[in-house]
Amino acid sequence: MKTKIKVFLASVLALTLAISGCYYDNEEDLYLGSSACDTTNVTYLNTTSGELAIEKIFEHNCNSCHSGSTPSGNIKTDNYEAVKANIIRIRGAINHQSGFQAMPQGGSLSSCDLTKIDIWIRKGMLNN
């Protein structure tokens, strides 16, 4: 009789764990229909289409700390020349790679913004 109870309790425990297993929502998966990531025309300068260009991604996520005469980490993101000169450090930080301080602090860029930055880099980091 005790064996049956143990088997039953073990079964209930296993079923509970299976049903309540780890689950992490990904914002972009949850809201897939609300706005797709348009990467057809990635540019550095802001476009008229309303899509955030590379310049605006940095403006919205980085420039509050990484601009002016004393930028955090001595990395500026508020102008093309500075971004291009520091792209290896910037890319490592925003992709949260080992050996780099993860940026932005306390968060991360969306996978869409990261993809846009990668495309811009692969296309030669043009100032367009």
For residue 33, count other CB atoms closer than 10 A to its CB: 6
Give the predicted TM-score (pTM) of the model. 0.69
Q: How far apart are the two ends of the chain, measured CA to CA in Å?
A: 77
Q: What angle do CA 47, 57, 63 make, to 5 degrees?
A: 120
Whole-number pLDDT of residue 14: 59
Give the model confidence (pLDDT) of 44-53 as tens digits.
997 666 567 9
Give the model confidence (pLDDT) of 20-41 as tens digits.
554 444 444 444 444 689 888 8
